[in-house]
Amino acid sequence: MYPTLYHFVFDLFGISLPFLKNFNTFGLLVAIAFLVAHAIFTKEIKRKTKEGLLIEKETSPLEHVNTITLIAIIFGFLGAKIFAWLEDPIPLSIFLSDPFSGLTIYGGLITAFLASVFYLKRYKEPILIYMDAVAPALMLGYGIGRLGCHISGDGDWGIVNNSTAPIWIPKWLWSYNYPNNVLQEGELISNCIYNDFCYQLSTPVYPTPLYESIVSLLLFGILWFLRKKIKTAGLLFFIYVFFNGLERFFIEKIRVNTLYYIGDFAITQAEIISIFFILIGIIGIVFFRNKT
């Protein structure tokens, strides 16, 4: 694992550049995720403008893309923090001491979506067209962001997995102990090549962030393939919502997370939201398919 860019460069090239410790790998991958998602979103908006689905007004569609991306960054971050606190309501002074810890992806996604819809509605833009354009970008961005969780070892890993890996799966893909994880959880690593972040989990776990990254990239491929074939505005976005909920619902079964108890029944915040996403996705797909 590489908590910061310093650890990545030192491991690969043996060069010690202390200033690189200021650049954590999770933040770097999240920044890359936003840049890539923005590029994909821009590409789709250009295509839809060329097809006549969007009209050049006083504020062009591409200008709207830039503003929506900025809105997504600001409100996504705020929503991710708020939902994380609702999931684990620790004292606010402790929670706010590290702005980039304790982020919940669903909180960011929901608040960024609502803020963007409000913005588009204000400018009387065709909301469904923009929703379809951003759907593949959201899926790809999520996959890149989850890769950041895996590489840094930020705690979004799965439950303990001591079972033997099937012969067709590499051991590191089946179970992993996240050496040099950024949380410094587990046991001390003997002969650690760094002078910090020298811990690894005492028992291996499912590398769920890596699973989510792989699945998200595959789902992005499906959405990218469908984007020109689907002509009904809104349908592609609700396919994305369904995929998003389905993927997260199943990954939660092997992922470490805070549990809520309803009697003897245990469920996570992400499972609750993913169920709503699945239902909303199905309803949206049925509704917009009937409009074709």
**pLDDT class of 163 with cuts at 50, 70, 90:** very high
Number of independent structural domains in the chain:
1
**41 vs 70: CA distance, rounded Å:** 13
pLDDT, tens digit (0-9, with 9 covering 90-100), for 3-23: 999 999 998 898 999 899 988
Tokens representing 82?
A: 């708020």
3-state secondary structure the chain: CCCEHHHHHHHHHCCCCHHHHHCEHHHHHHHHHHHHHHHHHHHHHHHHHHCCCCCCCCCCHHHHHHHHHHHHHHHHHHHHHHHHHHHCCCCHHHHCCCCCCCCCHHHHHHHHHHHHHHHHHHCCCCHHHHHHHHHHHHHHHHHHHHHHHHHHCCCCCECECCCCCCCCCCHHHHCECCCCCCCCCCEECCCCCCCCCCEECCCCECCHHHHHHHHHHHHHHHHHHHCCCCCCCCHHHHHHHHHHHHHHHHHHHHECCCEEEECCEEEEHHHHHHHHHHHHHHHHHHHHHCCC
DSSP-assigned beta bridge partners for residue 200:
187
231 lies in a domain?
A: no
In a domain, 10, yes or no: yes
Angle at 66 between CA 115 and CA 143, to 5 degrees: 75
Range of the domain at 10: 5-210
Instruction: Confirm whether 52 is domain-assigned.
Output: yes
| 244 neighbors 145 (Cβ within 8 angstroms) | no
Least confident of 95-99, 161-165, 226-230: 95-99
Q: Which residues pair with 268 in a beta bridge?
A: 259
Q: Is residue 253 part of a domain?
A: no
Spatial neighbors of 29 by CB under 8 A, at least 6 apart, are 144, 145, 147, 148, 151, 152
Tell me whether strands 259-262 and 199-200 are parallel, antiparallel or unpaired: unpaired
- Whether residue 287 lies inside any domain: the answer is no
- pLDDT the model gives residue 262: 72
Model confidence pLDDT, tens digit, residues 74-113: 988 888 877 776 766 665 555 555 555 556 777 788 899 9
Amino acid letter, 107? G
**Of the ranges 19-28, 77-86, 230-239, which one carries the lowest mean pLDDT score?**
77-86
Whether 135 has a pLDDT exceeding 80, the answer reads: yes
The answer as to whether 97 is a domain residue is yes
**C-alpha to C-alpha distance for 74 and 97, rounded to whole angstroms:** 18
Has residue 89 been placed in a domain? Answer: yes
What is the chain's mean pLDDT, rounded? 89
Give me the torsion for CA of 214, 219, 221, 225, rounded to 10°. 170
Task: Please check the confidence at residue 150 and state whether its pLDDT lies above 90.
Answer: yes
Q: Is residue 272 part of a domain?
A: no
Question: Strand 265-268 vs strand 259-262: parallel, antiparallel, or unpaired?
Answer: antiparallel
Q: How far apart are CA 8 and CA 25, in angstroms?
A: 9
